[in-house]
Amino acid sequence: MIEAGKQLRVFVVDDEEVIASSLAMILRLHGGLHATSFTDPLDVLELAHSDPPDLLIADVMMPELSGIELAIQLKLLRPDCKVLLFSGHAATTHMLKAAQEQGYAFELLSKPVHPADLLAKIQDLAETTQPVVAQE
């Protein structure tokens, strides 16, 4: 388990079903987390209104709504939600910079994400406070 005494509720979002479901399964089996997978970021926002996550893990590049846009909207709903983004595209740097200019700084992992690296990063996030406006 990542955090003693509390099972983190995690939303894993990727437009590729196999990636989203595989990551959620790894988090459940090896991290002891309550992880739910999504392929549509709009479904995440809908559920987050009534049952928000403690942690959002999202791909940056998705149709309809990027992972960065999703993270910003989720932070507006639940400011204490931690965010971890991942991407296989080098071109996401400008998107992260634009978010930072709006006052948001998000952690970014490169795809493919090794399960041990993902679990270690989640452990780091669980132990720290991630403010709405982060500093680099």
pLDDT tens readout for residues 98-108: 888 888 888 88
Helix runs in the chain, H state only:
17-31, 41-50, 67-77, 93-101, 115-127
pTM: 0.83
pLDDT tens readout for residues 54-88: 999 999 999 889 999 999 999 999 999 999 998 87
Residue 41 φ then ψ, to 5°: -60, -25
CATH superfamily of 9-113: Response regulator (3.40.50.2300)
Angle subtended by helix axes 41-50 and 67-77, to nearest 10: 10
